[in-house]
Structure 1
Amino acid sequence: MEQVAELYRQGYSCQQIASMDGRSAQWISVMLQRAGVPRRHPGGRSSLPEEVREQILDAYKRGEPVPDICARFGVSYTLVYAVADQGGVLRRRGAPRRVDRDQIMRLHEQGWTADAIAVMVGCSAGHVRRVIRERRRSAA
């Protein structure tokens, strides 16, 4: 419990501590309250330690995927982009993904659902439906 309290005193949020500890943010909050740790105003500006901000910025500069950075540091996409912006780093743009439309149609003809096909080819179910609809129209 002392480690949790110390992380909170260093500026980590309950949500960030929870993601590190494998517990819920609510559980962390209750434990802090029971331990008598003075609480910050919820939803206030994050006081993420400068060292962690630098690590996030370095990871972003190295090209680490934003979802991986979020998972590793227990932070939101918004915070990662804010740290990058504050660090003067231009936001990256992902390369457009190419999906194999023929594979989508083969899987559809085999009876797979749009949701299952989306998982298999790495796109949204809406995109799968759009491909199927476009192919049907062009075949008519």
Structure 2
Amino acid sequence: MKALAVAGVLLMCASGVHAKGAFDDGKDAIEYRQAAFSLIKENFADMAAMLKKKKPMDKQAFAQRAEHLALLAPIPFNGFKVAGSDKGDTDALAAIWTDGDEFNAIAEKFQQATKELAKVSQQDDMKAIGKAFGAVGKNCKGCHDQFKAE
């Protein structure tokens, strides 16, 4: 089922479908954003393992993961704009909908941080890469702290 949801996210992205109109209901939106976040997590975790030396650093693979992360970053946020996507199998807190401006600002910062990481990862400056990676992680944590039930 998870693979099917991931495939659906990729298909929607590739076809240019706008997420807000692509859902039948809130449940579909929740599954969509969870699949997108799963892909984000996978890319981020692989880069973290390289930086923490838990697996060999492969600069080409790292840069590719960073590029994927930047492409994925805006995708899940459309899944929060669908009626009923605040109820059901979700860890999203009500603050997303009651404090939407703050949520959107944090989402934008996250997306910008992933773009910066993708750009910096094309270079050989590991200090800059580490700093940009840290900024992405800080944005993830900031959003989770405020808007996700743990």
Q: Same fold (TM over 0.5)?
A: no
Relative contact order, higher structure (CA 8 A, sep 6+): 2
Structure 2 length normalisation: TM-score?
0.26
The structure with the larger Rg is 1
